[in-house]
């Protein structure tokens, strides 16, 4: 069985070989792209604070099987890396790390590393799951940084990497990973354009739905630190996702965030929603109730219909009498213009009234009025009996 590690081992000193294995274990091999030439790949390797490129052929495919014994010579002739070590001395630890990644991809169960004093204490294959997890986190963070600093589209490779590994990295994010995300965000807070790129990822419906509460805990601490325009955009997008039932797993946390916003921010959000959804009043009215924008609700009681007044009466107890009087007026007028047989919406409102506010004198007054004014509508009377 062809082994890339056995091939490269013949070309390097033990310390370089072991350093390369260590790089792979630490997840330094960030990924690859296929080159135009058949069986060639370009890998990226994160070595300390530098990102290096390794161009390498898939020798087990490109090299005739009869020439496999000469694979080490072939690798030495064609492999390339832009690291200073490679340029001066030849095969470097970055190449070894890529060879380990290739072996894991094409023959993970066939590799046996001989024991020696210089061999790493960690067995590479016994710890492959942990290494792969670290590798994915590094590759994801690298993609996130590129998306933020250079921009991205839905078809870009970096964005695809973010989606590809997102579920895995959020399953159990370690402390170092969280620190790295915090550090990245801290570095871009205050830069309007970079914040804008990060914002697109923050509120992407895919990441909100897939990341659930873990994603929320990672990103929400930074909302109040970024530009006020971006804060407004985040809030509006979160509301849209809430309405679309895309954040049900952490809806209460989002609601708590909205409720705690200052009135000035709630007003700015409301005005933006009203502009965007001028023909859909319920879309932004629901926001005022859900976010408990009490000041606005008190000021606009006369403009709300019964469905919202019932909810508002519960939110503002000291205004309950005034609000229930408004509900009485609205429902009496409404009942007088009912189309025969079309009673479902009225019954729903009356039931909501009883459920949310209890059986009050105002509700009793309305029921009595409807029964007396519409005593010939037997279907309506039967429905009222259940309230």
* Predicted confidence (pLDDT) per residue in 51-89, tens digit: 899 999 999 999 988 999 999 999 999 999 999 999 989
What is the percent of the chain with per-residue pLDDT over 90, rounded to a whole number?
63
Model confidence at 106, in pLDDT bands (50, 70, 90)? confident
Triad 272, 279, 239: Cα angle to 5°: 45
Helices (H), 277-360: 281-290, 294-299, 306-315, 320-336, 344-357
Say if residue 1's pLDDT is above 70: yes
Q: Give tens-digit pLDDT for 325-379.
A: 999 999 999 999 988 888 999 999 999 999 999 999 999 999 999 999 998 899 9
Cβ-count burial of 94 within 10 angstroms (0-12 exposed, 13-18 middle, 19+ buried)? buried
Residue 235, CB-side half-sphere exposure with 13 Å CA sphere? 31
Model confidence at 132, in pLDDT bands (50, 70, 90)? low
Distances (CA, A) of 296 to 257, 314, 315, 323: 18, 15, 12, 14
Say if residue 109's pLDDT is above 60: no
Residue 78 or 139, more confident? 78
For residues 137 and 166, what is the distance between their CA atoms, to the nearest angstrom? Answer: 9
pLDDT value of position 50:
83
Q: What is the mean pLDDT of the chain?
A: 88
End-to-end CA distance of the chain: 78
Say if residue 105's pLDDT is above 60: yes
Q: Give tens-digit pLDDT for 272-290.
A: 999 999 888 889 999 999 9
pLDDT value of position 125:
42
Say if residue 174's pLDDT is above 80: no
Triad 245, 294, 355: Cα angle to 5°: 65
pLDDT value of position 138:
83
- By DSSP bridging, strand 29-34 and strand 50-57 are unpaired
Say if residue 192's pLDDT is above 50: yes
pLDDT value of position 131:
54
DSSP-based three-state secondary structure for 10: coil
pLDDT value of position 108:
62
Task: Give the mean model confidence (pLDDT) for residues 318-322.
Answer: 92
Give the phi and the psi of residue 152 in degrees, each rounded to 5: -165, 165
Q: What is the CA radius of gyration of the chain?
A: 32
């Amino acid at each position: 069985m062809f082994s890339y590690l056995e091939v490269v081992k013949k070309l390097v000193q033990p310390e370089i070989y072991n350093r390369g294995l260590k790089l792979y274990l630490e997840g330094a091999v960030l990924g690859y792209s296929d080159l135009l030439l058949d069986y060639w790949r370009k890998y990226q390797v994160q070595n300390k604070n530098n990102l290096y490129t390794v161009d390498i052929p898939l020798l087990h495919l490109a090299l005739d099987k009869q020439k496999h014994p000469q694979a080490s010579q072939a690798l030495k002739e064609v492999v390339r890396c832009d690291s200073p070590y490679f340029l001066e001395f030849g095969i470097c630890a970055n190449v070894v790390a890529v060879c380990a990644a290739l072996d894991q991809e094409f023959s993970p169960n066939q590799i046996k590393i001989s024991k020696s004093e210089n061999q790493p204490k960690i067995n590479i294959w016994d710890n492959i799951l942990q290494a792969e997890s670290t590798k994915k986190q590094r590759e994801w963070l690298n993609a996130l940084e590129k998306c933020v600093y250079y921009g991205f589209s839905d078809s870009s490779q970096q964005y695809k990497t973010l989606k590809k590994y997102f579920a895995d990295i959020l399953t159990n994010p370690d402390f170092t990973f969280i620190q790295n995300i915090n550090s990245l965000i801290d570095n871009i807070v205050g830069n309007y354009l970079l914040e804008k790129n990060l914002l697109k990822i923050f509120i992407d419906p895919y990441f909100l739905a897939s990341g659930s509460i873990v994603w929320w805990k990672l990103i929400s601490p930074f909302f109040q630190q970024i530009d006020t325009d971006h804060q407004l955009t985040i809030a509006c997008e979160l509301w849209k996702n809430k309405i679309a039932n895309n954040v049900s797993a952490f809806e209460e946390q989002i609601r708590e965030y909205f409720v705690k916003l200052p009135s000035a921010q709630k007003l700015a959000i409301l005005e933006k929603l009203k502009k965007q959804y001028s023909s859909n009043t319920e879309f932004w009215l629901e926001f005022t109730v859900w976010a408990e924008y009490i000041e606005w609700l008190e000021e606009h009681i006369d403009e709300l219909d019964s469905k919202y007044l019932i909810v508002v009466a519960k939110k503002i107890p000291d205004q309950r009498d005034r609000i229930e009087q408004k509900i009485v007026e609205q429902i009496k007028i409404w009942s007088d213009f009912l189309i025969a047989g079309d009673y479902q919406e009225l019954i729903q409102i009356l039931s909501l009234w009883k459920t949310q506010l209890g059986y009050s004198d105002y509700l009793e007054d309305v029921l009595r009025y409807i029964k007396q004014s519409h005593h010939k509508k037997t279907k309506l009377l039967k429905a009222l009996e259940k309230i």
